[in-house]
Chain A
Amino acid sequence: MKGDYKETRDGEKKATGEEERYQLCLQLREDIQKGKLPCSQVTHALLGSYVVQSELGDHDPEKHGNDTAYLKPFNFAPNGTSDDEQKKLEEKVLELHKTHKGQTPSEADLHFLENAKKLAMYGVDLHHARDAEGVDIMVGVCEKGLLVYRDRLRINRFAWPKILKISYKRNNFYVKLRPGEYERFESTIGFKLANYRAAKRLWKSCVEHHTFFRLVTPERPSKRPLIHLGSNFRYSGRTLHQTRAATATIDRDNPSFRRANPSTRATQSLDGYSGSSDHDPERVDEVIMAQSASNEERPRSIIEDHVMPYADNPEDAHKPQPSDGPDEDGIVLANDGSYISRETTVTTTTTTKTFTVNDDEEEEKEQNILEGEPILLELESPNATVTTTTYYSELSSPITEKVFLELTPKPNEDETPIVMDEAPTQESSPPPPPPSTMDDTSPPNPPLPIEEKDTPAVPADTEEDDELVQVVPTDQEENQPFVRTANIVHQVAGEENDETVHTTDVPFVQTENTTITFEKDAPDITDGDGTLISAQTLSSETCTTTHYAHNEGFNNLESCFKKSSVIDRFTIKGNVTQTKVEKKIVIQGDGEIDHNQVLAQTLEEEKKSNPSFTVTRIEVRKEGEEVLDVTNGETEVE
């Protein structure tokens, strides 16, 4: 029987009915037989005794005799066990079998499962691989994360919360880890698999295990062009959370099923019961624990230990860190305030979600989708570096991964052109190892839709303002030799009476702000079956300011200031912790500067220094004017 089951250590009682348990037992027996689940002799005997009880019922000297002959049809240990050991094993089984009197097949199965799940290798999906030094190892995927074994010895372990990204490329499998307590940087570990298929299989296993055990709802595969490289594979079944929620509502009778057994079991009734049925013991087995659905233990995240306690008031969480930059509103006034400046805000966010990267700038063609294939097309271009890197999002890690593919800037009256076009080179350059997180890298193509934000994400701009600042230009006279001033009306938030309104005259600077926001959306947690249990958003912000002097024939006045701030937002939804890291760069400069060039350069710099960030929004703002949002807006992924 090919088993494709998810082994969870406490699920047996809760989630399954009698037949399911029986099937699971059969699968486990097969695994033990094949040596996939190593056990001690004592355990072989114990498990064997439960199998015998389940199949043959109570030990009866009349039917079974007093020796081990009746156990001949059974195989309790992997092939390769010596005859001597077999004999010893059978004797132990006989002893134990006698002690199980009165157990129904269902009860015996339950005991079998209880003991099997205690085994160290239970629920571990093993893959042969080689480490960076070429040493033979095994990579194990399980409920808690990844394990690395040298023979039977564990030499390493990566819990899911520690993993930022998993990817595969050709026959290599990569795991990117969060920096440890004493480390500053992330680390990536690579393994060599036998071939591409094996690498992909390992990756898929990780996706499945992670989704099932860690996520509230499975991730939807993103909508992609017909022809694309790499896998769009996502686990599509129910997650553990959903399974538990669903079984809490199931209330059904055990269907009758026939148990296969090596010996004839004429006395067994077809409905699976043995012995009397005056009470219904099977009902008890189908334990439905309604509370298990809601009392899901939240996967522990390392970050939580450091960052929590939670801010009860999401507002508190938005308090920015003390920064050494200028005021938070992102507007940097020039020293003399006598020029018209333009401000570009570039916001980048770390993206830790992996998608397959399409390096080939192919035209989209109409083609038939191969049925049943998660990958539409896999091409190996000999010229371009094909990255079949697949990113996998780690929702429970502090850094959420979700790459937003670029936006389609709306045509706008502002002269700011579409950012992506400005810097096509960054997109199509082969990503350095570890593979980059950039998504679709073909600029001319329409971008992929941005996923809807579920977090109560505060748009970057509003964070800065504690006060409402209205800028009202005063007398606008052309040829005014003096600096135009504007009346700034301060209204302290929360105070309603006008007595607290202050007015200040400040130099009126017409600035153009281009804000590029790289965002990471929250995953569709509330989509489908999932329930939003609670959501709290915390964030921390760090700001740095760089004075960027554009040095191409401009005079001193024509310089621009660049201020960058990094905002980490942690959102906790039920048992999922997600962090969004948003970096916003505000470029404010003289109107004479080729603003677009500065923008492009900034993007390039950012791309180089933070390859995992993606641009999600570009905003151009002229001070005193309405903000022109040049982003695509938010569209929901199907």
Chain B
Amino acid sequence: MYRSTPTTTTLSRVQAMARTPSLLQRSAATISARTIATASRAKLNTHRRQQHQQQLPLVRHFSVSHAANNAEETLVEREPRETMEYDIVIVGGGPAGLSAAIRLKQLAAKEDTEINVVVIEKGGEIGAHTLSGACIEVGPLEELFPDWKEQGAPLNQPALEDHMKYLTENHAIPLPHPPQMNNTGNYIVSLSNVVKWLGEKAEELGVDVFPATAASEIIYNGDGSVRGIATNDAGVDKEFKPKASFTPGMELHGKLTLFAEGCHGSLTKGLIRKLKLRDEGKFQTYGLGIKELWEVDPAKHTPGKIIHTMGYPLDYQTYGGGFIYHMEDNKVSLGLVVGLDYKNPYLSPYKEFQRFKSHPLVSDLLKGGRVLSYGARALVEGGLQSLPKLFFPGGVLIGDTAGFMNVPKIKGTHNAMQSGILAADSAYKAIVTEGLGEEGSEPIVLSGYEEAFRNSNIYKELHEVRNIRPSFHTGLGIWGGIMWSGLDSMLIKGRVPFTFQHPHPDHAMMEPAAMHKPIDYPKPDGEITFDILTSVSRTGTDHAENQPVHLRLADKTIEVRENLPVYDGPEQRFCPAGVYEYVDDEAKPGHKRFQINSQNCIHCKTCDIKDPAQNINWTVPEGGNGPQYVDT
């Protein structure tokens, strides 16, 4: 696919190739947080004068929001950017975004009309940032392509046997599994490959697909409606100054913008706050999924076998569980999901995953095999209770950026695709059939989409399971949850007049370190368990050097001032890519400083979710950066 060529990486990458992977040596400088938004007028004017002298384009200072999470705040002036007009702009090339795009083009083809659709995706190619277990339901895929098998969609391994186990340190006790966890008719896939295939189909149908393109800003009309998005400026150095290769971003305007960024989207979070799409006191809750892909000894491989686990290594207070899926070609996808509402600041989801692998059930399977890929991504756990309003003037939210994952089933892909299809149907009706959204007219308010959602299978599913995840929030921990969930999923099926709420957002659940003891995690053995930097090198992640650090701190002192003493610096433990470290401060002996190795980032969004101070703001780096997941 067309790729904005990374430039500065060329030099460093080619040199890096001559040596061993240098992620181990990479340590990006501490961010100096040159938050231009807070720079004094004088500094701004000096900068402008320097700009003129260098005869570089007068550009605005990039939207570095000093207040956390203001991804859409732009600064005063800049040269107007080029714009491209579309009927529909879709942010995010994942299952939801691509399903919507495909559906729109299919409707247009059927009725012999035209509709211009663009999909932009921050990953280097479609599928590069897609990571999942995954065992998916094929209903929505069949709706889009009834002949998906003949067309070569990479769903080759049907799910054949389901197992559920409760793990203690050395044993695996079989558990009865609730009926929803039955996977007959589903397929074990690499979601990245399925999404790649969807991307090809979208292009064949005439969708403009632009990977390696990051949407960094939402463009609003004067009345607060969404007009489209802007891609980020490329060729900006660490100090936010334009380099010789500076290429300004572009604006993509649409009659409707579909936000399909996945869990905790960087633009969506600002949108929800600015347009107040969630009621006061409502919030989303999350989990972190960490996985590896292994090629195992054929003697141990049972294609189609699915195992879900609870218990070890997590304690009764921590929600989560493991999965092991036997795919085709002797490949096994396995991982651990940890609920991000965990309380113990000493918990490291990455190291819990390593412990999971050392359980005999898992290590026996993996011995003699080799690891192919590693990755991690936050996932949505809030369910129906946490859904924001799905539509607003000029746009809608589809897929996990809204949050349609069915947590007990740990399946969200089919719902994401379905939501994309529903949005596409409504959007097509509004734009083509009813001719809304023309230049100068009212922005489109797609209430039909939310209505369709409420009448859909997605809603039915989420309604039925809405009380299951929250039932784990009581003092009884997972025991309370298992008891209620067993009852609810087998008998009650959600038919109660009450709905359990989530008591607190995940970041507020972390307790001070003084209330807990450090966990003594075993050292990695290098065969089954690995250290974090080795794992990160398996994600293929890379970020062009000399660009602004994309992890922004609203207050650059809070980490050392509060998070370190109170929570013992949890960032060093909750990030599954080793981005955050507290290192000795050379300038202040005896003190620590907070270091951000942003080049290791795998775009999982956990830091933005779990930081107790809510100080870290994940913003999107240059398009094409981030992980290069293969077969995940």
Do A and B interact with each other, yes or no? no
